[in-house]
């Protein structure tokens, strides 16, 4: 066990480093996400200044960070409007699946992986990072943009797909019987559908239950319920992020506005920890050998996500600039891709380094591409959303 002095010192140094990097990013009008990832790479195992005592805190904080990012994102939108957007974007979800899972599956086949390895790599290239996208939309002040509902619809449908995919992959990877995989998929999908139905029909009562004039009470109530819902979602192999997002969607009006205000500082703290944790999970010496293959796969799947986002935004009658912004923001892969490889990593030793390198490349490139895609419209139109 590490001493409290060591733990406190490492946490203090981590937060100081993140503060400096965040200030530099703001100065350059960039998202701090790439710098946080690089900091994690430097502070992780094999980096220049490892922080072993803080590892457990960072891992826990990262899980909370994803929940807070999606909760505050849900607080921005109406459940009724978002449900309509989901129905409209079923074709977008199908296009997303075909365009982005196929390159991973083909790559797995070329590498000579077995069926489980091919399935795992297909999932890793298919799913975008909900946490990273949520943070980037907030950093670049695009939550009110016309393309944002289309982006969120694609993300939520991906998380729905993960609710079926992860139990299936987990059972297959462990050598379990087919009926166990079917039961796992049915339980996860059923739980997600029940959560959406409950949120849609009775969510308007939630605001009255959680509302309180005291800011501390409001924060504790909203955060406590969100963590419980997120835990229940994880229990059935669904997405904690979607559970948190549903809680946010269910809150409206003054309650949503006040919840967003009291939770924003916590979100900023733990989301920084989340991005740091992704960097910490990567060994620098694993990046270099597989960098050419990861770069090639990244180029292909960045292009397919760009097409996905453009198609989804076009269905909402968004203009060409908004379509480009929607495409570039979906490029990032992250937490789900790492979870997928964790399920099969011991079976395919070469797969984990490839996917981790791939995730790192797109986690760095995605925010830069998104910033470049939106730079001209932001300068020319000063806050108008097109």
CB atoms within 10 A of CB 52: 13
CA angle 14, 19, 22 (to 5 degrees): 120
Q: What is the pLDDT of residues 81-94, one digit of tens each?
A: 677 778 889 999 99
User: What's the pTM value of the predicted model, to 2 decimals?
Assistant: 0.78
User: Per mean pLDDT, which of 64-68, 276-280, 333-337 is the most reliable?
Assistant: 64-68
Q: How confident is the model at residue 385 (pLDDT cuts 50, 70, 90)?
A: very low
Residue 172 CB-half CA count within 13 A: 17
Output the CA torsion sign for 84, 72, 236, 238: positive
Residue 252 is encoded by which pair of tokens? 């409206």
Q: How confident is the model at residue 346 (pLDDT cuts 50, 70, 90)?
A: low
Tell me which of 315 and 29 has the higher pLDDT: 315
Range from 38-42, 297-301, 306-310 carrying the lowest mean pLDDT: 38-42
Q: Which residues have C-beta within 8 Å of that of residue 42, sequence separation ≥ 6?
A: 48, 49, 279
Range from 138-147, 197-206, 296-305 carrying the lowest mean pLDDT: 197-206
Q: Which residues have C-beta within 8 Å of that of residue 13, sequence separation ≥ 6?
A: 51
Whether 383 has a pLDDT exceeding 60, the answer reads no
Q: Where are the alpha helices (DSSP H) in the chain?
A: 4-27, 33-43, 55-74, 79-88, 90-110, 115-126, 130-139, 148-174, 178-202, 206-210, 215-235, 240-250, 253-280, 284-287, 291-315, 320-329, 335-344, 351-381
Residue 28 is encoded by which pair of tokens? 């350059």
Q: How confident is the model at residue 184 (pLDDT cuts 50, 70, 90)?
A: confident
The radius of gyration of the chain from alpha carbons, rounded to an integer in Å, stands at 20
Residue 109 is encoded by which pair of tokens? 């086949």
What is the per-residue pLDDT for 81?
Answer: 67
What is the per-residue pLDDT for 376?
Answer: 47
Whether 45 has a pLDDT exceeding 90, the answer reads no
What is the per-residue pLDDT for 31?
Answer: 75
Whether 174 has a pLDDT exceeding 60, the answer reads yes
Q: Which residues have C-beta within 8 Å of that of residue 320, sequence separation ≥ 6?
A: none
Whether 314 has a pLDDT exceeding 90, the answer reads yes
Whether 73 has a pLDDT exceeding 50, the answer reads yes
Rounded distance, CA 277 to CA 358, Å? 16
Find where tokens 């300068």 sit.
379
Rounded distance, CA 222 to CA 50, Å? 35
What is the per-residue pLDDT for 216?
Answer: 93
DSSP string, 149-208: HHHHHHHHHHHHHHHHHHHHHHHHHHT--HHHHHHHHHHHHHHHHHHHHHHHHHGGGHHH
Range from 60-69, 183-192, 263-272 carrying the lowest mean pLDDT: 183-192
Q: Which residues have C-beta within 8 Å of that of residue 52, sequence separation ≥ 6?
A: 2, 45
What is the per-residue pLDDT for 237?
Answer: 64
Residue 117 is encoded by which pair of tokens? 């390895």
What is the per-residue pLDDT for 5?
Answer: 86
Q: What domains, with CATH codes, occur in the chain? A: 65-128+137-267+286-381 (1.20.1530.20)
Q: Is 129 left (phi over 0), alpha (psi -120 to 50) or beta?
A: beta
CB atoms within 10 A of CB 77: 19
Instruction: Report which of 277, 267, 288, 275 is spatially closest to residue 363, judged by C-alpha positions.
Output: 275
Distance between alpha carbon 334 and the CA centroid of its chain, in Å?
Answer: 6
Residue 107 is encoded by which pair of tokens? 């790559």
Q: What is the pLDDT of residues 15-33, one digit of tens each?
A: 999 999 989 988 877 778 8
């Amino acid at each position: 066990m590490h001493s409290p002095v060591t733990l406190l010192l490492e946490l203090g140094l981590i937060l100081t480093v993140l503060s400096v990097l965040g200030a530099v990013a703001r100065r350059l009008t960039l998202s701090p996400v790439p710098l946080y990832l690089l900091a994690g790479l430097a502070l992780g195992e094999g980096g220049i200044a490892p922080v072993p005592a803080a590892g457990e805190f960072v891992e826990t904080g990262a899980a909370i960070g994803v929940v807070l990012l999606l909760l505050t994102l849900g607080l921005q939108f109406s459940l009724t409007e978002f449900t309509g957007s989901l129905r409209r974007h079923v074709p977008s979800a199908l296009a997303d699946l075909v365009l982005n899972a196929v390159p991973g599956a083909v790559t797995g086949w070329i590498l000579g992986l077995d069926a489980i390895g091919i399935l795992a790599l297909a999932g890793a290239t298919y799913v975008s990072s909900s946490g990273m996208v949520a943070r980037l939309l907030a950093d670049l002040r695009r939550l009110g943009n016309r393309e944002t509902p289309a982006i969120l619809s694609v993300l939520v449908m991906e998380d729905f797909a993960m609710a079926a995919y992860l139990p299936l992959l987990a059972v297959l990877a462990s050598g379990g019987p087919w009926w166990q995989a079917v039961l796992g998929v049915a339980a996860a999908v059923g739980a997600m559908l029940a959560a959406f139905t409950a949120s849609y029909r009775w969510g308007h009562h939630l605001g009255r239950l959680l509302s309180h004039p005291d800011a501390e009470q409001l924060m504790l109530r909203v955060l406590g319920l969100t963590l419980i819902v997120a835990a229940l979602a994880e229990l059935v192999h669904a997405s904690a992020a979607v559970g948190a997002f549903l809680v946010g969607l269910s809150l409206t009006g003054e309650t949503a506005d006040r919840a967003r205000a009291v939770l924003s500082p916590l979100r900023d703290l733990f989301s920084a920890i989340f991005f740091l944790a992704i960097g910490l999970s990567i060994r620098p010496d694993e990046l270099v050998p597989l960098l050419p293959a990861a770069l090639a796969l990244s180029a292909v799947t960045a292009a397919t996500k760009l097409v996905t986002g453009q198609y989804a935004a076009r269905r909402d009658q968004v203009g060409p600039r908004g379509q480009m912004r929607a495409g570039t923001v979906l490029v990032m892969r992250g937490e789900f891709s790492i979870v997928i490889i964790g399920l099969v990593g011991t079976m395919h030793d070469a797969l984990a380094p490839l996917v981790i390198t791939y995730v790192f490349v797109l986690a760095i490139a995605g925010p830069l591409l998104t910033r470049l895609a939106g730079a001209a419209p932001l300068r020319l139109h000063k806050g108008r959303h097109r």
